[in-house]
Amino acid sequence: MTLTVNGSTRPLPRPANVAALLRDCGLDPAVVVVERNGTIVPGADYAATPLEPGDTLEILSFVGGG
């Protein structure tokens, strides 16, 4: 019952949705963008987007760049 998040294995959050994952990771949903199995999850859909074992997630944010 695990996920791959940013390349590392993590337990499935409870409830199993994107909003709970961000909460477990201590992340402010307003400053990240989430991709689930290669598809962007709109910010408004975090709570409504279920997670399943084996899902691959990418969580990104802006950093300094030129």
Partner 1 sequence: MTTTPEPDDFLEIGGTRLQSRLFVGTGKFGDDALIPAVCEASGAQVITMALRRVDLDAGPANLMGHIPAHMVRLPNTSGARTADEAVRIARLARAMGCGHWIKIEVVADSRHLLPDGYATARATETLAREGFVVLPYMNPDLYVARSLADAGAAAVMPLGAPIGTNRGLRTREMIAVLIEDLALPVIVDAGIGRPSQACEAMEMGAAACLVNTAIATAADPVGMARAFGRAVAAGREAFLSGPGAVRARASASSPLTGFLGQDGGRAPQEVAP
Quick one: CA dihedral 27, 62, 60, 7, positive or negative?
A: negative
**Among 1, 9, 14, 65, which residue sits at the site for partner 1 (rule: CB under 8 A)?**
65
Amino acid code (one letter) for 37: N
Are the C-beta atoms of residues 26 and 33 closer than 8 Å to each other? no
In whole angstroms, how close is the CB of 52 to partner 1 at the nearest point?
20
**Among 1, 9, 14, 62, which residue sits at the site for partner 1 (rule: CB under 8 A)?**
62
Region 6-35 residues binding partner 1, contact defined as CB under 8 A: 6-8, 25-28, 31-33, 35
Can you tell me which residue has the tokens 């402010």? 28
Are the C-beta atoms of residues 1 and 13 closer than 8 Å to each other? no
Contacts with partner 1, residue ranges (CB under 8 A): 5-8, 25-28, 31-33, 35, 40, 42-43, 58-66
